[in-house]
Homo-oligomer: A and B are copies of this chain.
Amino acid sequence: MKGNVIVGQSGGPTAVINSSLAGVIKASRNAGIEKIYGMHHGIEGFLKEDLIDLGEYFPNESDLSLLKRTPSAFLGSCRYKLPEIEGHEDVYEKIFDILERHNIQYFLYNGGNDSMDTIKMLSDYASMHDKPQTFMGIPKTIDNDLPLTDHCPGYGSAAKYIATSMKEIIRDNESFGASKPTVCIVEIMGRHAGWLTAAAALSKDVDCSGPDLIYLPEVVFDVDDFIEKVKDLSAKKSSVVIAVSEGVKVADGRFVCELGQSNDFVDAFGHKQLSGCASYLANKVTEATGLKSRPIEFSTLQRCATHLASRTDIDEAYNVGYIAAKSAFEGKTGMMVTIEVVSRDPYLVHYNQYDIHEIANVERKVPKHWIINNGTYVGKQYLEYARPLIIGSLLPYYASGLPKHVTLNNKPR
């Protein structure tokens, strides 16, 4: 090959983001690439020329099996958006200067909607200035809200974690309630799209009643109606468990978590930091009913619980990484790899690529007609969609009773 490769990880980590990294490394090795660079903390680190020589960490193929079992971004992540090209040519000149000095021909970036913007900007700049480098996006987001791909690597493992934990929480909640019903409100990530919260429905089976209500951000939330529904449920059942997205909003557009507190934090992409929706609602339930009501937030556990990752997800994350690299080597640029599901049962997929302009900054939500029971549950279409994505396990390597990981500070010898 005519140059080196660089790969970066961006945005919120997932349980399987390192499987995509493993796919990139394997494809690069198979293609005979000399140097495989990683960006330390994504494009933010790249701009400081903070590069990692991945060949040093993974001198041979067998090391990749531990990388696949390691949660969170091995290379470090960032939330950093490149500025508009016009007026900021210096930033882009710097980037291409770094690429050229390290003879980097292939640029791969693993992330969600916001991160795909980086691929768009760089491939646009390259095309405007006849630069030879190729730029390919590797999808990743537990939020599952990238367009054009059937689903996103990272989602299946988050869904498996959520559904497993819901089963365990429902079992726990059902153990009490002999004299008085107990209410549990589980807050699940997803600012604008309810994919993660919908995964709570997967817990329903012959051995689990599933959550009683599921509230997605796609539907306007009504606090009074919610309280009435909890009252009705607790009159009939001794255990009431509710799944609610962190992103649910009331009719005037405010997030539920903003109703009880001042909350002005925003992250580096300008998104409001959300949390406390379950706490707010649990307090409301206790006020209104006198019942014990427990809020639970999965928080970052839902994106980093690699010990419970879906094998399907791990394999697909590996494949999109591999294919993005291979496509970049073949000269493709300004695209993201997508997953197309040929058949859900038996589950068969193939991979495609789409123009990054159709993907960057676009959010895909749960289809309205998949949301049932007046906006309080998800239907069969969702279950058929999601069930194959959580199948299979990749058992951790245990040492002293705990899953082993590989980290930048723990170079294999």
Point out residues on A near B: beta carbons under 8 Å. Answer: 9, 13, 40-42, 44-45, 70-73, 76-80, 160, 163-165, 167-169, 171-179, 184, 202-203, 205-209, 265, 267, 273, 275-276, 279, 286, 292, 294-297, 299-301, 303-308, 310, 387, 390-393, 395, 398-407, 409-410
Contacts and interface: CB of A to CB of B under 8 A. Distances in A.
Nearest to A202: B402
Nearest to A283: B261
Nearest to A45: B178
8 contacts: A71-B172, A72-B174, A160-B401, A163-B401, A207-B406, A275-B294, A279-B279, A395-B395
A119 to B, nearest CB: 19
A41 B165 CA distance: 23
A115 B363 CA distance: 52
Given A41-B176, A164-B402, 6 more contacts: A45-B178, A71-B172, A76-B174, A165-B301, A208-B407, A390-B402
A71 B207 contact: no
Contacts of A393: 398
Given A297-B297, A402-B164, A292 B265 contact: yes
A171 B296 contact: no
A45 B76 CA distance: 53
Given A45-B178, A299-B294, A299-B296, A207 B171 contact: no
Contacts of A9: 175
Contacts of A301: 165, 168-169, 296, 301
A172 B407 contact: no
Given A178-B44, A205-B399, A169 B304 contact: yes
Contact of A401 (B76, B206, B390, B407): B390
B297 A168 contact: no
Given A77-B176, A169-B300, A207 B404 contact: yes
A179 to B, nearest CB: 7
A194 to B, nearest CB: 20
A402 B299 CA distance: 20
A294 B295 CA distance: 16
B178 A208 contact: no
